[in-house]
Amino acid sequence: MKNFVFYNPTKIVFGKDQTTNIGRYVYGTKCLLLYGKASIKQNGIYDKVVESLRKNTVGFVEKGGVQSNPVLGFVHEAIDLARAEKVDSILAVGGGSVIDTAKAIACGYYYEGDVWDFFTDKAAPGDALPLYVVLTLAATASEMNSGAVITNEKTKQKFNINAESLSPKVSILDPVNTFTVSKHYTAYGCVDAMVHLLEGYFTQDDPATPLQDGFVETLVRTLKDSTLAIMKQSDDYQARADFMWAATLALNGITTAGTGKHGFPNHMIGHSLSALYDLPHGASLSIVFPAWLNHYVRDKADKLAQFGNAIFGTSDPQKTIEALKQFFNIIGAPTHLSQVNIASSDIKKIAENAVMLAKKWGLHQYTEPVIEEVLNAGA
């Protein structure tokens, strides 16, 4: 077990009908109520949230329209609105895109320069508005971590920030809110949470971490089983609840505590697919991750055998990769660039984009030729 510091300040309020309590938790007199395009007005979550805010005399100004793969231009607009309205907190009602946008607004609010400076490491986020969350899509764990990912639509960079001040104060996890998430986004959420777990599992530098490996394997199994159940019945409460909590635990710092250094190379490459083609995050990972495993199959043979035994009942590394791909395809996640209409002749362009993030993340072994090799291993 390697040394570690684990700190996670987010209060989780989990369970059926907890959405109606959000107004009790939001601090301050006027919040920025932030949401996505249309879903929360269609499924009734907006009405529940607004009623709870009114009941608890929390004022609000609202801004809808956050797009999936959220963009910098929207963040700028929302910072202007938040300042003009003098809000004292942000309430994000949505999935990772809404929460990440809220985090960027929260720290940009107090910064005189361009908030993008935080993403390019020209400046570090300091103070931030307090953030509250009603989660409507389980996938990213943004509801219980300190990171955010935004795309600069002009430079085609999908970059992240990370700061303790960005952790939500309170996140409501009401599985009922996710009953209306489509099969596609349920599949993408499953892939995303699994890859969060497996990036660490396959790249960590401590070879002996039975406790953490056990966490990861249990969470992956839970995600797999609950996703298959949700595909049969969208309002299966038990399955939605298991899925939701597993996705949160997959990237809240718990599973990598004690595992030492680890990287996110699949996210590094996946972010370029989203930046260049607006591909949903989970779909980018279901393409990149099996390719990455193929590329490193010899290096990772022992861990692949362990993973295969735990999840798919095989200790053959190649069969394990095939079983994972098959699972992704069964739930409706793509595993090949051609399935999302990206030509393999674009691989060079993707690698040129991805290497910018490799540099930011210190993944120096991922040069352009290496990234091309990884993507070609999925061809």
Cβ proximity of 28 and 132 under 8 Å: no
Examine residue 149 and tell whether it contacts ligand NZQ (CB under 6 A): yes
Question: Rounded CA gap, 110 and 95, in Å?
Answer: 24
- Residue 3 tokens read as 């040394």
Q: Which of residues 263-302 bind ligand NZQ (CB under 6 A)?
A: 267, 281
Stretches 114-122, 157-165, 186-194, 295-303: which one binds Zn ion (CB under 5 A)?
186-194
Q: Between residues 181 and 194, which has the closer beta carbon with respect to ligand NZQ?
A: 181
Least distance between ligand NZQ and beta carbon 226 (Å): 16
Q: Between residues 98 and 106, which has the closer beta carbon with respect to ligand NZQ?
A: 98
Examine residue 69 and tell whether it contacts ligand NZQ (CB under 6 A): yes
Strand partners, 35: 93
Closest by Cα among 250, 95, 70 to 161: 70
Question: Rounded CA gap, 292 and 214, in Å?
Answer: 23
Q: Between residues 143 and 192, which has the closer beta carbon with respect to Zn ion?
A: 192
Cβ proximity of 217 and 194 under 8 Å: no
Examine residue 36 and tell whether it contacts ligand NZQ (CB under 6 A): yes
Closest by Cα among 215, 220, 217, 151 to 191: 220
Question: Rounded CA gap, 88 and 375, in Å?
Answer: 45
Q: How far is CA 331 from CA 25, 152, 188, 235, 334, in A?
A: 36, 31, 9, 16, 9
Stretches 5-13, 187-195, 288-296, 362-370: which one binds Zn ion (CB under 5 A)?
187-195
Stretches 68-76, 83-91, 188-196, 239-247: which one binds Zn ion (CB under 5 A)?
188-196
Examine residue 174 and tell whether it contacts Zn ion (CB under 5 A): no
Q: Which residues bind Zn ion (CB under 5 A)?
A: 192
Q: Which residues bind ligand NZQ (CB under 6 A)?
A: 36-40, 43, 68-70, 94-98, 100, 136-137, 139-142, 145, 147-149, 177-178, 180-181, 185, 188-189, 192, 251, 267, 281
